[in-house]
Structure 1
Amino acid sequence: MAPPIVSPSPIESTNPWTTLSTREGYSNPWIRVREDQVINPGGGRGIYGVVEYKNRAVGVVPIDDNGYTWLVGQWRYCHERYEWEIPEGGCPPGEEPAECARRELLEEAGIHAAIIEPLLLGVQLSNSTTNEVCDIFVARGLTFGDATPEETEQLEVKRIPLTEAIQMAQDGRIRDSVSILALLKLALKS
């Protein structure tokens, strides 16, 4: 039996913020930073800084017929540490997220996927200072070729049991939020 459809309450459908003005502080090909003059829900005046992402984030978990997956390791500049993640990338406007997932999987891991299935769509990666959202997919029907990472990527790729990748997400060896969301969602489905 399907759950009942619940209409949003008036408080859920009414924006309590008033934007008085917007000023762009910075822009590059990937992000735009803006500062809004606002009236907050309590009636006070203030500022709200927002980082707008120009691309949609996309992640993909490749799974083979034997229950293995592939992780990508790389140095993450902002966090100043090496991280293990599922293959991920940015989906520019005009590209379908599923096709972006297919492209990123090939670029980063050298894997062709016959099937790309949605796992999580429209996930908000931070709801306080950015508008970044992510779509996450599962890839199946895998064949293999050569990875072609971008100039900004120095990657290591490793094949491990999916159960081990899930354990890494649970015990903190994987810290990337997109990877954790994807792997824990897959753990719930099994």
Structure 2
Amino acid sequence: MKHLIEKTIKTTDVFKGRVIDLQVEEVELPNGKTSTREVIKHPGAVAVIPVTREGKLVLVRQYRKALNKVIVEIPAGKLEQGENPLDCAKRELEEETGYNTNQLHFLLSFYTSPGFADEIIYLYLAEELGEGTSQTDEDEFLDVLEVTLDEAEKMIKQEIIHDAKTVYAVQYLKMKELSKGW
């Protein structure tokens, strides 16, 4: 794999923000030539697939400025500096949905856009939901929805659910349902 590695020659910080940082890196390519890479640095995030005792998927509807539209997603949020992903998952579940649980199961982690960003999402399944308190961030406005798996699949087709983490969550639940008769 050594023949694929790019060596960083120089890194220039272009922007430092609350959520992301942008760097431009000059790299030496495996063939000895140089190129530049624009890289988004992100602290990572968690996403939670909350399922009620009745088998409904708990989702949040919110406006996403980058898309200039409202979409429906599983609850998710950015990791704070040094925060454990499990603690973040518990916090985001309660803040965004008003539910809490002691039944959070780590499923996997994945990179969202490895071509230009290092963001990694840690994905959890939340079961045995109990009532908590919803306390969204002061700049966060959302609605909480509970939908069946069939309704979620229709929302994907209608592009109401239109982000990768939520599409993955619906597919995960569909596979779980097929394999266990859930």
- Does the alignment reach a TM-score above 0.5? yes
Residue identity in the other structure for 1:146? T
Map 1:14-25; keep pairs closer than 5 Å: 15-25=4-14
For the 8 Å contact 2:5–2:29, the answer to whether it is kept is yes
Specify whether residues 138 and 163 from structure 1 end up closer, same or farther in structure 2 by C-alpha distance, changes over 3 A only: farther
Instruction: Give, as a single letter, the amino acid of the residue that structure 1 aligns with 2:68.
Output: E
Deviation at 1:115, TM superposition (A): 0.5
Deviation at 1:133, TM superposition (A): 0.6
Residues 122-169 of structure 1: per-residue CA shift (max 9 Å, x gap): x01001110011011111111123311111111111111133224433
Please report how far the alpha carbon of residue 113 of structure 1 lies from its aligned counterpart in structure 2 after TM superposition: 1.1
Whether 1:79 aligns to 2:70 is no
Question: Does the 8 Å CA contact 1:119/1:182 hold for their aligned counterparts?
Answer: no
How many equivalent pairs are there? Answer: 177
Structure 2 distance, partners of 1:78, 1:116, is 30
Give the whole-Å Cα distance in 2 for the aligned partners of 1:96 and 1:163: 33
Identity of aligned residues (%): 29
Q: Distance in 2 between matches of 1:49 and 1:81?
A: 26
- Measured after TM superposition, the shift of residue 114 of structure 1 is 2.2
Where do 1:160-171 residues align within 5 Å? 160-169=147-156
- Structure 2 unaligned residues grouped into runs of 5+: 178-182
Please give the alpha-carbon distance, in whole angstroms, between the structure 2 residues aligned to 1:156 and 1:78.
Answer: 19
Checking the alignment, whether the CA contact within 8 Å between 2:76 and 2:89 is kept in structure 1 is yes
1:118 aligns with 2:93: no
Question: What does 1:148-163 align with in structure 2 at a 5 Å threshold?
Answer: 148-163=135-150
TM superposition shift of 1:46: 1.6
- Superposed displacement of residue 101, structure 1: 1.0
Check whether the contact 2:60–2:75 (CA below 8 A) recurs between aligned residues: yes
- Corresponding residue SS for 1:149: coil
| 2:127 corresponds to | 140
| Runs of 4+ residues deviating >4 angstroms | none
User: Which position in structure 2 is the counterpart of 1:67?
Assistant: 55
AA paired with 2:18?
P
* CA distance in structure 1 between the partners assigned to 2:174 and 2:101 by the alignment: 21
In angstroms, what is the RMSD of aligned CA positions?
A: 1.7
Residue deviations 1:51-77, cap 9 Å, x none? 100x21111011122111211011101
- TM-score normalised to the size of structure 2? 0.89
Unaligned runs of 5+ in 1: 1-10
Counterpart for residue 101 of structure 1: 89
In 2, Cα distance between equivalents of 1:86 and 1:14 = 39
Contact 1:120 1:182 in 2 (8 A): no
Query: Aligned letter for 2:28?
Result: I
Q: Is 1:131 matched with 2:93?
A: no
Pairing partner for 1:176 from 147, 163, 167:
163
Separation in 1, partners of 2:158, 2:30: 38
